[in-house]
Amino acid sequence: MIDRIHTGAGPGASGEPEGGAGAARRAMLTVAMPGVVSTSLIRAIELEFPWIVVEQRSDISAACQHFDEPLALILCEPHGLPAVEAVSSDILRLHPLASVAVIEHGDREPSFRLKDALRSPLVRGVLPMNLRLDVWLAIVRLLLHGGEYFPARMFFSQIASEAALIPASGMAGASFAAGEEDELATLTARELQILEMVARGLQNKTIAAEFSLSEHTVKVHLHNIIGKLGVQNRSEAAARFREGISARADGMFRIQK
């Protein structure tokens, strides 16, 4: 837990927009159930970004009104995305500088489809709530200044999950590297989850804790994975996973266009 907020000392380190203390203020709107963005987090935002005024609402209709300060960022929960899309034209008209970030409890398995967020004219990022405070505020800073943030691990996990569910016959144009068969399709859901974590460099002890398994069970899964993929060790299995998921991702995006 971070017990203090680092504001820095150089130009722009305080979080103020260009122009210094006299620059125009901006508004940030949180659209979430009470407690999702806690009072302490709101206070941390106000301390880190003194030029930001935080407004809290429970309905996205609040974004379809004028604010005293230009609206820079809207934070919403995943289940609120359809409502955001329904009023996106109004938001863009009233708040041309505003972007949307989706609040998520973790940074690995999203509770919504990432491709839906990527197609949105407003969504510019995902804001995980399980990060250290200094990292969390750094992402908020990026979003406030018009940047984008989507956790790489979230992409990796969702692509892996979707790739496992789509049969090879439906993956026109999504073949693996030349000469390779769709070996990942032979893995079980649990084996694919474990292989994804191996590909991220995690050790058996960490993987076992993630899935409430024993290390012996993880080793058995890895033995089966290595056998199914026809490789020699976990490093080769991880490399095969990365190659395969990359190829499938390309095919999935071509199919969905």
Please compute the mean of the pLDDT values over residues 217-229 and round it to a whole number: 92
Query: Model confidence over 17-56: pLDDT tens digits?
Result: 544 455 579 999 999 988 888 999 999 999 999 999 999 9
Please compute the mean of the pLDDT values over residues 84-93 and round it to a whole number: 91
Write the CA distances from 109 to 136, 151, 198, 226, 249, integer angstroms. 18, 10, 16, 25, 16
Tell me the C-alpha distance between 104 and 1, whole Å.
Answer: 19
Q: Is residue 13 part of a domain?
A: no
Q: Confirm if 22 and 31 have CB atoms less than 8 A apart.
A: no
Write the CA distances from 237 to 73, 98, 132, integer angstroms. 41, 43, 32
CA angle 148, 110, 162 (to 5 degrees): 110
Same domain, 133 and 25: yes
Same domain, 161 and 114: no
Please compute the mean of the pLDDT values over residues 135-159 and round it to a whole number: 83
Rg of the chain on CA atoms, in Å: 22
Report residue 161's pLDDT band, with 50, 70 and 90 as the boundaries: low
Please compute the mean of the pLDDT values over residues 172-176 and round it to a whole number: 38
Same domain, 93 and 31: yes
Instruction: Tell me the CATH number at 119.
Output: 3.40.50.2300
Q: Which residue's structure tokens are 């680092």?
A: 6
Tell me the C-alpha distance between 107 and 114, whole Å.
Answer: 12
Please compute the mean of the pLDDT values over residues 176-193 and round it to a whole number: 65
Report residue 181's pLDDT band, with 50, 70 and 90 as the boundaries: very low
Q: Which of 150, 168, 201 is the endpoint of a domain?
A: 150
Please compute the mean of the pLDDT values over residues 242-250 and round it to a whole number: 65
Q: Confirm if 72 and 47 have CB atoms less than 8 A apart.
A: no
Same domain, 187 and 203: yes
Tell me the C-alpha distance between 62 and 2, whole Å.
Answer: 32
Q: Which residue's structure tokens are 């989706």?
A: 102
Tell me the C-alpha distance between 149 and 104, whole Å.
Answer: 12
Same domain, 200 and 126: no
Same domain, 112 and 216: no
Same domain, 162 and 125: no
Q: Is residue 4 part of a domain?
A: no
Same domain, 143 and 26: yes
Q: Is residue 176 part of a domain?
A: yes
Same domain, 187 and 143: no
Q: Which of 123, 150, 177 is the endpoint of a domain?
A: 150
Q: What is the pTM (predicted TM-score) of this model?
A: 0.59
Number of domains observed in the structure of the chain = 2
Tell me the C-alpha distance between 210 and 229, whole Å.
Answer: 23
Q: Is residue 9 part of a domain?
A: no
Looking only at the bridges linking them, the beta strands covering 71-76 and 26-31 are parallel
Domain that holds residue 166: 154-256
pLDDT at 108: 62
Q: Which of 108, 129, 150 is the endpoint of a domain?
A: 150
Q: Confirm if 122 and 88 have CB atoms less than 8 A apart.
A: yes
Report residue 74's pLDDT band, with 50, 70 and 90 as the boundaries: very high
